[in-house]
Amino acid sequence: MAIRAVCFDVGETLIDETRQWTEWATFLGVPPLTLFTAIGAIMNRGESLRRVFEIFRPDLDLSQARKLRAAQGWTYDFKPTDLYPDAIPCLTDLRGRGYKVLIAGNQPVESEAALNRLGLPADVIGSSGGWGVSKPDSEFFAKVAEAAGEPPGTIAYVGDRLDNDVLPSLAAGMKAVFIRRGPWGWMHAEKPAIEQAHLHLHSLLGLADRLGDL
């Protein structure tokens, strides 16, 4: 079946999360390099990044940390400079060729408004927080298909992780597109199972041309 819709993960697929994590380092009172090293170790063990807060602030969980930051004037947001340079050109190209464009990843519900404020050329913007289900749960990908209004076999899901993106989208009957960038992308590119992805990208540029190969 021909691809009719493309859904993109958010963090390290469209959004460079460096700024957000650097700000978390400031809040936690540790140098950014220390935080990033801890993140790498956590990822290597296959643990949730929530462990970061258990390591540096065991007195706080993530929800408490967000409330404290909000009390200090912080709001959940994305800036135009957080977008990878190829994000908007890719989304624009896909829509111009008639593809439905969706954005949905493991993000809090506030991410939907934050992404909308960027004016991204997308038909649907969703989140695990808004849908009440997170990747890699199969129900998340069922929500993607429902939002797209298309059968799974006509949907390509683009993400940077083997465990949260490639394998569960394949299990859902979608076409898996892996992009090697961000810490997860570079680590998971070395895993043999990543070869199961239908497409392997180093950049989102030219994605529309390659969808024909599927």
Q: List per-residue pLDDT tens for the chain, 214 residues long.
A: 799 999 999 999 999 999 999 999 999 999 999 999 999 999 888 888 888 989 999 988 888 888 888 898 888 899 999 999 999 999 999 999 999 999 999 999 999 999 999 999 999 999 999 999 999 999 999 999 999 999 999 999 999 999 999 999 999 999 999 999 999 999 999 999 999 999 999 999 999 999 988 8
For residues 127, 133, 135, 141, the Cα torsion angle rounded to the nearest 10 degrees is -80
How far apart are alpha carbons 214 and 20 in whole angstroms? Answer: 35
CB neighbours of residue 117 within 10 Å: 12
Instruction: Note if the pTM is more than 0.75.
Output: yes
Alpha helices in 49-205 (DSSP H): 51-56, 62-71, 87-96, 110-117, 128-131, 138-148, 167-171, 182-188
Q: Are 41 and 47 in contact (CB under 8 A)?
A: no
Separation of alpha carbons 207 and 129, rounded Å: 28
